A and B are shown apart, each in its own frame.
Chain A
Amino acid sequence: MDNTRHISSSNGPVDPAVAGLMEGEQTFETVSERLASIVLRQDKHKLPWWIMLGIGFVMYNLLGIALTKLLLYGVGIWGIDEPVGWGWAIINFVWWIGIGHAGTLISAFLLLMRQNWRNSINRFAEAMTIFAVLCAGIYPVFHTGRPWCAYWLFPYPNILGMWPGWRSPLLWDVFAVSTYASVSILFWLIGLIPDFATLRDRAENVVVKKTYGVLSLGWRGAAEHWQRYETASLILAGISTPLVLSVHSIISFDFSIGIVPGWHTAISPPYFVAGALYAGFAMVIILAVPLRKWYHLEDYITPKHMDWCAKLMLTSGLVVLYGYMSECFFSYLSGNHIEIRMMELRQFGPYGAAYWFLILCNGVIPQLLWIPKVRFHNGWLFFISVVVSIGMWLERYVIVVVSLTRDFLPSSWGYFAPTIWDILMYAGTIGQFIFLFFMFVRVMPMINIFEMRELVHKTHGHVHSSAEEHSAATPVSLPAQPAE
């Protein structure tokens, strides 16, 4: 993390750990005003917001249509059949869950690592996590065919006296994903409480003031409260980090515990987790590039943030690429003719184009991120992130579909092609994501306001306070706190 030559350094001697994380002259008041006004002043939301909400709304309606048709006719409207029983529903489920993981990583893991730069991006990244998990959750529930019986997945005393099969990774999924969704929402809401208090205190409209007053739960910023708040945040971060790793590992067990050739590999858990972070960082960049432009947030989401997100994306991408290579290497070296044929089929079979396009998207094009100019160019970053998102979708396509088309017996071989309903439902969840995200931007602060005030305190505090307040003896950073 040494590449700071493109960044205008802040004025005054600033701790290098926080240098470049905020630009312009910032005070507690400018930060609070700029970030709160996005929510409180409705004229801040201009044409781009309406266009995105419109696109999201139209596509969200496609989801309604697709689900209605699905409920009336059943999952037979999808392209799934024997032998490919897991089609786009499972691909999209894994894709969406993976996207969510970067949000938790940013909010939890970077908090534990005392990375101050997370403060500017954690709020909308957590929102991204929650909306992505909501999109993901739709697929397995409707893939059961009878979503009204989805509660059967949970252990509850019933008249048959039966319990769920605890040895199945599909059941582990139920627990992992529902825990992940609820813990992510909890973490997000806890983080919002002090910001709701800021909105409550700054709102002029009575209804708005009362609404945020209720949401802030009476937060008054007492030192005793902050102490418990920080302890709770740190504990939540500490348990969310292994949670993220466990969720995607369990999702990889869905595949790797099965004996299907191409799925049954021990490398799956780390390789899936890296892929999830890769897709997630791509989505963070996809969202950050337009947001900072449309809402003039360049002072808070600086080139340094984009640079570091891009570097993390590149790093996780290299782990993913290593996963592809080792998968290929161990298949050809396995001596197992079924494994070898499976790898040949992936690379040179009827779906070979998807495999090589996936390598292009995930392995080749992102290598441009080695060039500093690319990491500081919004257009390139956005383009590469979209490419990575496509690549990660193709990765799941190759894993799910291609492996299932060839079973052990040639008599059960088959092909898979999606139908219009697969495509509509996928578009529908993208619409849901866009719609929910832009609604979020309108009613909740998309950047954590109180953590940005804290950052002002750390970066410019001594610049902005009056001269007599600035004494070298101020014991502000005396006790070592585990949080930042």
Chain B
Amino acid sequence: MSRIYGLVAEFDTAEALLRGAEAAREAGYRRVEAYSPFPVHGMAEVLEHDDPRLPWAVFIMGVIGCATGFGLESWTAVINYPFNIGGKPTFSWPNFIPVAYELTILFSAFTAGLSMLVLNGLPRYHHSIFNTPRFERASSDLFFLCIEARDAKYDPEETAHFLENLGAQLVSEVEK
């Protein structure tokens, strides 16, 4: 039993995948994941994938970026090495805006990109789902719905039957 990752159903359209995912959620399955060659809209809501951490991380790092830029400029120009250039005030803050602005963008952009990867657990060397037959077509034209073996409601016979009834072209048991 522990050698099995889950049961994977194969569909040929995004609509079928979405309906399958909805049916699986309604049937009470919780460890359900859909694999598609492009983002299927509505899927995140059906599977309740909603991660507020990413936007918050971006916002917080953006604020830190802005503070870093403005803080560095103010500290170096006012405290660490005040320097009279053309009689301008040392704390000439309007001139500090462009650098603070660019650092805000730099910090938040890299946070968006990198936290997407980190929260998704990427890069990753291997994953059990790749043992699925024909899964190489999940990046071209096939859609897969996986009910994982660790789901409380998982039963090899009953779950396979459930997936077949969804109109799957192929249901396969996938090893870890």
Contacts and interface: CB of A to CB of B under 8 A. Distances in A.
Given A32-B141, A224-B49, A235-B112, A453 B106 contact: no
Interface of A: 27-29, 32-33, 155, 161-163, 165-167, 169, 171-172, 175-176, 179, 182-183, 186-187, 189-190, 193-194, 197-198, 200-202, 217-232, 235-236, 239-240, 242-243, 246, 250, 253, 450-451, 453-454, 457, 461, 465-466, 469-471, 474-479, 481, 483
A162 to B, nearest CB: 6
Contacts of B45: 479
A163 B83 CA distance: 10
Interface of B: 12-16, 18-19, 21-22, 33-45, 47, 49-51, 54-55, 58, 62, 69, 72-73, 76-77, 80-81, 85, 88, 92, 95-96, 98-99, 101-103, 105-106, 108-110, 112-113, 115-117, 119-120, 122-127, 129-130, 136-141
Contact of A454 (B16, B38, B99): B38
Contact of A183 (B39, B51, B105): B105
B97 to A, nearest CB: 9
A228 B119 contact: yes
A27 B141 CA distance: 8
Contacts of A236: 109, 112-113
Contact of A166 (B15, B95, B127): B95
Contacts of A457: 14, 38
A230 B99 contact: no
26 contacts: A28-B37, A28-B141, A165-B85, A167-B85, A194-B38, A194-B139, A200-B139, A202-B136, A218-B126, A220-B35, A220-B130, A222-B35, A223-B34, A226-B36, A226-B40, A228-B120, A239-B108, A243-B109, A454-B38, A457-B14, A470-B15, A476-B14, A476-B15, A476-B41, A477-B41, A483-B39
Nearest to B118: A228
A461 B13 contact: yes
B105 to A, nearest CB: 5
Given A232-B115, A246-B102, A198 B37 contact: yes
A182 B102 CA distance: 11
A165 B69 CA distance: 13
Contact of A201 (B33, B73, B76, B139): B139
| Closest 10 pairs between A and B when the two form their complex, measured CB to CB | A28-B141, A232-B116, A217-B123, A218-B124, A201-B136, A226-B39, A163-B76, A227-B44, A172-B98, A32-B140
A222 B33 contact: yes
A235 B53 CA distance: 13
Contacts of B101: 246
A470 B99 CA distance: 54
B129 A220 contact: yes
A218 B117 CA distance: 10
Contacts of B33: 222-224
A141 to B, nearest CB: 18
A193 B116 CA distance: 12
A157 to B, nearest CB: 9
Contacts of B127: 218, 220
Contacts of A226: 36, 38-40, 43-44
A223 B39 CA distance: 7
A190 B38 contact: no
Contact of A476 (B42, B85, B122): B42
Contacts of B102: 172, 175-176, 179, 243, 246
A414 to B, nearest CB: 26
